[in-house]
Structure 1
């Protein structure tokens, strides 16, 4: 009983068990040793409790080791999970993201099949409070949070470099990131001081591919890219074409006006890309072009329009009554023009 009592103290943080137990004094014939059924039951109960504590302590130790090695999938409150320090996605669950909605339905109906990869939070105080940081699986974490479920995760100690390599490789292997997302992710990693070789490894890129990604990331302002979104159908060729169109301040101003339109706000990400490209590649009327004849339905020319770069001119043919009528309609025409410009 004494040995079991010492072992129990050791498990609960008391003194370690003694190396040897002193023999109990033997009862003499004149003084028989009393035996009690109640004390025997207490000893048995203590033995069972001690065994349970040993088993729980061993389970906890094994769990800690498995989590440290990333060998065990655990369930974690997604409200205690922060995103990685570099975002790899442009899609936002709070904007019409059909893929995210489909992911939520899938998890709600069939559960989360693929665990996410987390690391204990790199800030010691937050780590002690039970916080984690995502290496990959941001959308699955967001879906679990939206559904009020715990997220299934593998937790593994990771350095910053190990985190971004794992983050990039998982997305590359699943072909999950669009061209512009990969471009902005690569640029963000370089800006945080990661070596170019590390970034190429993280995204599984060749040198030429890396160069094209960075060219587009540099030419397309981040605000415009975020407004368009991932545009998964756009691809490298059309993003490079769009980046060529955004080299001037006037083009970027035109892009900002397109973003402010109602049609842009209502469109999907791929539709927003098309609207932006069409807006920027719309051809202006060439300066000093030949006069354009303006004819009535019967074919008679009533005026000619000359698109002079500095001072466009309309020349009326014949009597001045029609010219006077057009002049009186100019305020209404200008108001209609401004309304259309604001809509475009």
Structure 2
């Protein structure tokens, strides 16, 4: 009891505890001192309270260390989580992510099985206020927000490079990003100043594949890619074909007109890709007609005319003198045609 009292005095700012006494010394000292008026029950209660404080402080310290090492899954309010500074997806929960409703139902029925990865917010003030930034798991955060529940997360202190590498690797390992999403993600990282080697590592890419991704990202305007969405079934070959079709201003105008159609707005992402590719690769249908005979009043055929889309043909019969004459008159005939067209 004497030792416990000395510890309490030390904790409350009193004198430091004395050296340990032998049993005989402690008994003699106890007999010489006046009896304490405080009850042993009160002292014991205070000791227990101080012990609880020590335990809580130790638990808090351990939790901070575990969170810092990413060893513990914690539950966090999704309304205090911001997305990563570079988006890796084209899909939006309210429009083009057809699987989002299914994800919400899965979490609602069976819980969130796979934690998301967060980092403390890079802005010091927001971090102190309890804000985080997503490395990966954006859809799971959005689903938790939609369901009004906390999101299960691992929190690690990550640099920008570590964040994008973790973000890319998680998606690559799960084969979760479509071709166009990977292409635009790679381009966005390069535009933010990341080294090409870092981007290749983040997306687990070989040099040749990286080149193809960037070629498509450069050729497909961002607005058109986002209007189509992730199109997970389209694949590399068809996206490269679409990119090739979009290299002219006329093709991009066609694409914008397709985006404005009602059918495009109602379609799924994969269907929008098909509609766009068909619109850009469609060729004007030409009607093949039988050659028309050009005859003299007597009925002798001097030439035949065959209209064939953009390339009509006049074939002359007999000597070439008439053909030469017609050829010499074409400039004047064309001028007369344009003049009459202008009057109309």
- The two structures have a TM-score, normalised by structure 2, of 0.78
From 7, 10, 15, the counterpart of 1:6: 10
Shift of 1:42: 1.4
Look up the match of 2:284.
Answer: 284
Q: How far did residue 2 of structure 1 move?
A: 4.5
Contact 1:285 1:307 in 2 (8 A): no
Q: Distance in 1 between matches of 2:91 and 2:43?
A: 63
Task: For structure 2, list consecutive stretches of 5 or more residues without a partner in the other structure.
Answer: 292-304, 312-344
| Mapping of residues 1-344 of structure 1, within 5 Å | 1-7=5-11, 9=12, 19-21=16-18, 33-36=34-37, 39-285=39-285
8 Å CA contact 1:234–1:273 kept in 2: the answer is yes
- The 8 Å contact of residues 9 and 16 in structure 2, kept in 1 or not, is answered as no
Extract structure 1 runs of 4+ deviating beyond 6 A. Answer: 22-25
Cα deviation, residue 19, structure 1: 4.1
TM-score (norm 1): 0.78
Could you tell me how far apart the structure 2 residues matched to 1:184 and 1:290 are?
44
User: C-alpha separation between the residues in 1 aligned to 2:71 and 2:173?
Assistant: 21
Which structure 1 residue ranges, 5 or more long, are not aligned?
10-14, 294-303, 311-344
- Residue 210 (structure 1) shift: 0.1
Decide whether the 8 Å contact of 1:3 with 1:18 is kept in 2: no
- Shift in Å, 1:3: 2.4
Report the structure number with the largest CA radius of gyration.
2
C-alpha distance in structure 1 between counterparts of 2:290 and 2:224, whole Å: 37
Q: Over the residues paired in the alignment, what is the CA RMSD in angstroms?
A: 2.7
Quick one: distance in 1 between partners of 2:31 and 2:216? 96
